[in-house]
Amino acid sequence: MTQKMDNTTRYERLRERYMNGDIDRRGFLGLIGAAGLAYGVQTPFAKYAHAAADQVRFDGWGGVVSEAFRQYAFDPYTKKTGITVVDGTFGGGDEYLSRVKASQPGEYNIAHLSGVFDYARYHGLGLSSELNEDNIPNLQFVIPKLVDVFRGVSGGALSCVPYDYGTTGLAYNRKYISDERMQEMGANILLDESLKGKIAGWSDWRTRMWYASLQTDQDPNGATDTDACWDAIRKHRDLSLKYWGSGAELMSLLAEEEIYVTEGWSGRIYALQEQGHDIGYMDPPNGFGWQECLFVIKGSPMEPCEELLNFMLAPETSIAVAEGQSYPPALDPTKVDLGSKIPNLPAFDASGTLDGLTFADPTYWNGHEAEWSKMFGRVQKGY
């Protein structure tokens, strides 16, 4: 009878040689140690090699967004293909980039990134892949403007597919702040001293700088008087109860009435409204528009990733996810019937041109990233 040559058999044979005196103690322990070392060294990499064929890791923003992705995209995709989608969450693109930077190639696969500036940063750090668009036929349904801007960054190729868009507008509790007052004050409501202690803001330097530009009547994609912007940020800080760090915290602060006004993500505010909270939402002139994409990180198993992207861009999946996460999909409304709910979502653009939204200029924002993120870290703490 032949015996299967597995690790246990190898160990038993080695032990037998040792017990018979064919090998000395030092040699025996040395071989055991070498085997352990080899196993330890290969294990982390083997994990990714094994994972490559049967699972894809997806990281997103958590909360209602993750729930929508899980329910309407990942579970049906796994059912259809047998490929498991492992989903993780992050609080922001910066935090996630740090994790990716510390990871092994292939550990992280697809990320739900926000903004072209994130795409440009990832591309600049050599983390972009090159998608085979033939494997993603549903890309044809996407608003061309959203695709072209990514092509411009990565020299014509794509490392992502656009997936949804939204705005970071002003969210306010209608019990304490009227719609009329919001229309009158716009972004300056965040600097209203009568609301001291009931104001909040996202602890994101871009959002702070964007709104400070609006508060100082400057172009958010080209502020020239940055000192005035920092002064506005300091004033906002002194009036604020807290900087929030995640969508869940934003929703909690508003729902619990800890705060009355903040900037907020359109989809999250819509979710609050759907839960019955009397929270208003408005995009001030030149409000912060953004598009999100599904970015495939270099070193990922491309075919399963492309298959997942194509599945997610299928109109029925994309619409279901959009309704679940309350952000309009990247699908072109002139090519795809988006149903009845999506046209009512905040930030929805029926024309498919997105001309009504102001997006962040990646060159401008990434050019100031090092300086402003550091400066905001100081201003945030009272400097």
Site residues (vs other proteins, CB under 8 A): 92, 94-95, 97-98, 101, 121, 124-125, 197, 205, 237, 240-243, 245, 252, 256-258, 369-370, 373-374, 377-378, 380-383
Shortest CB 158 distance to other proteins, Å: 21
- Smallest distance, other proteins to C-beta of residue 252, A: 8
CB 87 within 8 A of CB 111: no
Torsion angle of the four alpha carbons 166, 169, 174, 178, in this order, in degrees rounded to the nearest 10: -130
Burial group, residue 281, by CB count within 10 angstroms (0-12, 13-18, 19+)? buried
How would DSSP label each residue in 313-355? HSHHHHHHHHHHHTS-BSB-TTTS--TTTGGGSTT--TTSS-T
C-beta closer to other proteins: residue 37 or 350: 37
Which one, 247 or 324, has the nearer CB to other proteins?
247
> Least distance to other proteins from the beta carbon of 211, Å?
15
**Dist. CA 216–CA 219, nearest whole Å:** 9
- Residue 70 or residue 242: which is nearer to other proteins going by CB? 242
Least Å from the CB of residue 73 to other proteins: 28
Residue 237 CA to chain centroid, in angstroms?
A: 25
Q: Which CB atom, from 92 or from 186, has the smaller least distance to other proteins? A: 92
Is 346 within 8 Å of 101 (Cβ atoms)? no
By beta-carbon proximity to other proteins, the closer residue of 231 and 349 is 231
Of 138 and 246, CB closest to other proteins: 246
Is residue 129 within 8 A of residue 300, CB to CB? The reply is yes
CA distances from residue 16 to 19, 23, 25 in whole angstroms, order as listed:
5, 9, 12
What distance in Å separates the CA atoms of residue 20 and residue 119, rounded to the nearest whole number?
Answer: 63
